Amino acid sequence: MNAASSGDVCNVHAGTYSENVLFKTTGVTLQVNSGDTVVVKGTIDIQSFANSIVDGFQVTGFSVSSYGGIHATGTTGGIIRNNVVHDATGSGIYVRQSTNFQVSGNTVHDMAGPCCISDGDGIVIYSASSTDGTYAHGVRVYNNEIYQNHQDGMEINGSFESVYGNYVHDNIYSNYASTHPDGIECNSDADGITECPHTLIYNNVVKNQNQNIYIDGLGTAAADSDIWIFNNVVFNDPTSSTGVSMATGTSSQIILETGNKAYILNNTIGGTVAYFDILIGDGSGADNASQAFTNVTVENNIVMNSLYVGFWTFPSSNVIAANNNIYFNNASALVHWGSSGSLTSIAAVRSTTGMEANSQSANPLVNVFPSPTLQSGSPAIGTGANLTSLGQTFLNADRNGTARPSTGAWDVGAYVSGSAPVRPNPPTNVKAVAQ
């Protein structure tokens, strides 16, 4: 790295390297040589050097007090991909004050604390922004697996972030009551940036955290605006891989507190949760209107198997549209509607809310989580609203990438009927070599 010049590709061959690696200039690719295994017992720091790439390493055994095993700050055009960060103290991957940045294909697990900003977070993205006000040139976090970290799976802060295609699970331990571990969380201020205006969270599988997807404006409604949560599979197993009973160790699947303008669309939500599948505003029962998250649209979701209430909002004015949802097997009530209280039938939901005209209380007939695709005869087939008019391109296909129709009804939930994962095209640059 001391010798590298801008534009160089540095191949690291097999071995274990006990050092803290520092980038020294822009435009350098640091990658594992093809077919080799490289372990760094220490950290890799891009620092603020633009257009830098870290690709393919195992990073472990470090202890940091203010950043992560792979780190970048104040930069643009960087990529952190295909790394495994594990069994260390601090955050696994930490990117701060950066734009046009990608974090993809990484596995981060078993990060511990206490330290720095966290008690062991998987991926931290702070103070993100976009070079031109588009998601394409913001920070994109995709196709990562994040599990068994001691606190949050992924913590985000900033604007124009995209979080998609990730598998975030089992970031919870027996001290969950004090650490409140979340799956995907925006609940922080950093560098003068408050929370997460303009955020996409879609096509993820999130399970077995205290709160699986959690957005909280910390008392400032404008801090969380234009939030899109769609095509996600969000659920809990009875017990996490770390041995925590999710009947007591969890509170909510999707939670929005203090904000303005959000969309919760075409998610499939189920499995064990102590309180709410969807919570908007104050869920404590204290009727605290200061926690309102207003102008929320809730459509085309499958909401099932809560141990308390499927969908809770306080105040009821949070919600400007709710329809085409399917509620099933929520123990106490389908919906809790502000000061009107809990509603236990779809007829009561419709008459009280003046919404949900096309929603159902029915068994959605989905296959087993984590791939709850629709079975033949599911009432979710062809009973959803066509949301093409919202102009959200990524919503026009399901979690597997299967296109939704441009006209006519959509299916409810994260999957289109008959959907299957899209297989990648075969490589075109492979040559057979006779031995």
List, for residues 384-423, the tens digit of each pLDDT value. Answer: 999 999 999 999 999 999 999 999 999 999 999 999 876 5
pTM, 2 dp: 0.95
Q: Are residues 151 and 213 in the same domain?
A: no
pLDDT band at 125 (very low <50, low <70, confident <90, very high): very high
Say whether pLDDT at 280 is over 50: yes
Instruction: Give me 43's structure tokens.
Output: 């950290």
Query: Which two tokens mark 21?
Result: 């690696």
Does residue 189 fall inside a structural domain? no
Region 67-81 average pLDDT? 96
Residue-number span of the structural domain to which 276 is assigned? 197-420
Among 164, 186, 207, give the residue marking a domain's end.
164
Same-domain status, 160 and 243 = no
Q: Which residues pair with 189 in a beta bridge?
A: 194
Q: What pLDDT does 182 receive?
A: 96
Burial of 219 (0-12, 13-18, 19+ CB in 10 A): exposed
165-169, 218-222, 420-424: which is most confident: 165-169
| Domain membership flag for residue 294 | yes
pLDDT band at 116 (very low <50, low <70, confident <90, very high): low
pLDDT of 115 reads 67
- Is there a single domain that holds both residue 258 and residue 396? yes
Q: In this structure, how many other beta carbons lie within 10 angstroms of the beta carbon of residue 142?
A: 18
Query: Does the CA dihedral 207-83-162-224 come out positive or negative?
Result: positive
Q: Which phi and psi (to 5°) does residue 125 adopt?
A: -120, 110
User: ω before 426 within 30° of 0 (cis)?
Assistant: no
- Residue 239 token pair: 């017990």
Are residues 93 and 208 part of one domain?
no
> CA-to-CA distance for 257 and 227, rounded, in angstroms?
12
The answer to whether residue 431 is domain-embedded is no
pLDDT at 113: 81
Which range has the worst mean pLDDT, 20-34, 177-191, 256-270, 308-322? Answer: 177-191
pLDDT reported for residue 162: 98
Do 207 and 138 reside in the same domain of the chain? no
Q: Quick count: other Cβ atoms within 10 Å of Cβ 432?
A: 4
Same domain, yes or no, for 151 and 201? no
In sequence order, the 6+-apart residues with CB closer than 8 A to the CB of 3 are: none
When the pLDDT of each residue in the chain is averaged and rounded to a whole number, the result is 94
Same domain assignment for residues 34 and 119: yes
Query: What is the rounded average pLDDT of the residues 45-73?
Result: 95
**195: pLDDT confidence band, cut at 50, 70 and 90?**
confident
Between CA 32 and CA 37 the distance in angstroms is 7
The yes-or-no verdict on residue 432 having pLDDT over 50 is no
186 found inside a domain = no
Shared-domain flag, residues 90 and 202: no
Distance of alpha carbon 160 from alpha carbon 77, whole angstroms: 15
Query: Does residue 209 lie within any of the structural domains?
Result: yes
Residues 215 and 260 in one domain: yes
Top-confidence residue, 187 or 165: 165
| CATH number, position 55 | 2.160.20.10
pLDDT digits (tens, 9 = 90+) for 7-35: 999 999 999 999 999 999 999 999 999 99
Residue 191 maps to a domain: no
Confidence of residue 431 (pLDDT cuts 50, 70, 90): very low
Mean pLDDT of 264-289: 95
Q: Of 112, 141, 164, which one is at a domain's C-terminal end? A: 164
Cα–Cα distances in angstroms (integers) from residue 310 to residues 216, 245, 279, 305, 337, in the given order: 20, 19, 8, 8, 11
Could you tell me if 218 and 351 lie in one domain? Answer: yes
Q: Are 388 and 408 in contact (CB under 8 A)?
A: no
Dihedral of CA 116/154/76/6: which sign?
positive
* CA neighbor of 141 nearest in space, from 151, 150, 128, 131: 128
Residue 429 lies in a domain: no
Are 108 and 239 found together in one domain?
no
Output DSSP code: residue 239: B
pLDDT confidence of residue 193: 74
- Classified as helix, coil or strand, 435 is coil
Question: Considering its fold, how many domains does the chain have in total?
Answer: 2
226 and 138 share one domain: no
Percent of the chain with pLDDT over 70: 96
Q: Is 90 helix (H, G, I), strand (E, B) or coil?
A: strand
Confidence class for position 428, pLDDT limits 50, 70, 90: very low
Radius of gyration in angstroms for the set of CA atoms belonging to the chain, rounded to a whole number: 22
- pLDDT score recorded for residue 405: 97
pLDDT in tens, 305-362: 999 999 999 999 999 999 999 999 999 999 999 999 999 999 999 999 999 999 999 9
In a domain, 174, yes or no: no
Listed residues 142, 164, 186: the one ending a domain: 164
User: Under DSSP, is residue 285 helix (H, G, I), strand (E, B) or coil?
Assistant: coil
Are the C-beta atoms of 82 and 56 separated by less than 8 Å? yes
